[in-house]
Structure 1
Amino acid sequence: MEPDAETREDLLDVLGEYVARGGVAPLLAQPVEPGDAAFPEPWAPTPSGVRQLMRRLAWHAGLDREVEIEDRRAGAVPTERKPATRVELLEVRRKSALFALGFIGEDDIAGTLAHEIGVAHAVLHRPDGVDPYRTAEAPVIAVDPAVDLERGSIATVYLGLGVLAANAARQQHSIHERTNFNPMLVTSTGVQIESGYLPVESLVYLVAVQAALRGEKKPPAGLVPTQRRQVAAVLEELDGEKLRDRLGIPRDAVGARRPAVERFKDAQLTADEGVARNAFRWNTSRKGVGTILGTVLGFSVSLIASRGLLPIFTIGGAGVGHMVGRRVRVPRCSACATVNAPGAATCVKCGAVFRGDIEHLSERLDAEERLDDS
């Protein structure tokens, strides 16, 4: 759904401020597309990998600051079915920008980080009158959430990172979950993740505005299918020349040509000590296996003794096997369902650190929340 008229005007006002301060060249340049061509550096889900990706995004955006990453990882949020990447800009210094890394997920990381690069631009280009006592020589400028966050997501479009930001604003993922009653049974479930500081509809509108300003009739390359369809629908209703007049852009203005992308010569990944994942010893049993073995044994005995007693022996064997199996305790990892030795401190498969015992997998989230509160 397209944003209402008032919201559209607010978005254009901020975009116009960026044009007035920094010129029209970044906005009219070809938007950055996701992929190896624009991001040639090596990647790994580590702080050094995040830093390399953030450096490249800053390079695309023309942000003249070194990227510093403060590792604050503490594991995934226990209530999130698919934990999202968490990175936030803390402050901008004279020569660097400091970002806090909270978690590295398996989602659209580049798009998520693009929003934070936009926030850095917003911090450096605040509207007049917001902070009359700050000068251009301020050694450190902290992020003001009330002023910088939404303007930062708008800045992604101005800087050419709008396609990345729009893709990350609403993501559709499919995850596989084990059922509570049987760890071997897995179901596929759809999960939606949202990133950035604007609704996806606002970013879709801004990406369409940029395309109209560039004289394009089709959405820019690199958009995911849903966002691409939405941009195409909005673009049909826009008039590029009227938008240029609205933003104070000359009719004959053209965008800057993006420089060729070459891998950073000093790009390298460093070892990551990692952050221990929390889990619990999930005390399961062999009652399922016992039931099956008891049923087979009872069936076999009935064939030897008397076929007329087959139902009795089969049902009786299943019951006895179930009771015996319940007595056999099998600790499993609540994170990956792998069988571990009784009293194990860490999972032999995923390396999670066991923080206690639970009787049912459904108790895991409550146990993790109690652990966080302690």
Structure 2
Amino acid sequence: MLLRSKIMTVGGGLALLVFIFSGGGVDNYQAKSIDGESRPHTIQFLPQVLGQDSGSFDVVAQIRNGVSPDDKAKDQRLGGIGGGMGGGGNLLGAQGTHPKNLLDAWKFDSKTAENAREALDSSYKFEIDVRLSGLSKVLSDLTGQPILLNRRAVEQANQDLEMSIKYSREMTPLRTAMRQMLRPLYLRASIENDGIVITADHAALAKEGIGTDAWLNVDQEMEEDFSAKLQQKGVFEFRDTPLKECINSLADQFDLKMVIRENTLEDIGLSSNELISFSLADVTLQDVLSEMLFALDCTYTLSGGLVVITSAESLEFGEEEQLTRVYWLDGTGLIGQQAIEIITATFSPDMWEQLGGPSTITGLINPRAGLVIATKYTVHQKIERMLKMLRDSQFAPDPNLESVVP
């Protein structure tokens, strides 16, 4: 081995470079790296500014090969980690800690959680005949692990705590047994720091239309009622009938509270006395409202417990309040950013904030993946239909968020 050193002045300070050549020879030997290239190994002591007390500063050393541009490109393709054989990659951090991501806030790494993970993959003989309320105790006694029941989750899954659970199996992994017992009830086993918790299976519930979304500034029951009535069919016939009379007729026919925003119609040169003429049979209320209002450059939205007829312009320019809704992505196979890109590119692209519109969309992790969307009601209807279609066609497990959350 040959050591050669050189002291240089860099930026007003001193730097010591040490070149290490390994091998049997000295003058004619060049160390071979893994990829066959010739590189001297370099230890660089970063310069310390002259006049500073060396006792008060840490000495920082970088040990690396002479790296070519091609090697840097390789490192970038590998995520910047240069490998443990002198690749010159990036350090994990000043303190050597791993990079944090949002899901670290929900990591369960207690000793109890570790033991629970091992127990889930251990096999037991099961002879279960107990009420749901007592299932966790029976399993705790069998496995020696703390197993808890989240009663609020049972309520969300619309299950009765007094229902009977019967399950008989020879040596079976606890993970498999709990899945077979709980999945039909839209429940699942989850590991937390306190042990194994029987909780709601959000993906299974979402595929049944349970717990998929929630309105923030709209009456939830009223919206569900209105959404159902929009799909009801009827016979509709109007002959030179003023708009306000048409709306009153529809409100009476479908038992809805409907109003017209007169001022927004006046802004586009119209009034509630505009004459409507059409005859339609065996069509839905949604079709009728869309056809009748589109011709007037108007639309419908919700406000509290009311159905509001207003101009399309008032929604496009944010004069009407945007309706805000939380959508959970369980069971769709989508992650937040992917869903955001699909929605903003597909539904009224010019309505979104990125292009200067009034509508907003934000990803949410809690740790379920979701979206918070503020936009007009008709766009919400389209988003809801798309997510339902994706759930109906999705049979694989949801993506692992730990692999995609920065």
Question: Under a length normalisation based on structure 2, what TM-score does the superposition of the two structures give?
Answer: 0.20
Larger Rg: 2
Larger relative contact order, structure 1 or 2 (CA cutoff 8 Å, min sep 6): 1
**Higher strand proportion:** 2
**Higher helix proportion:** 1
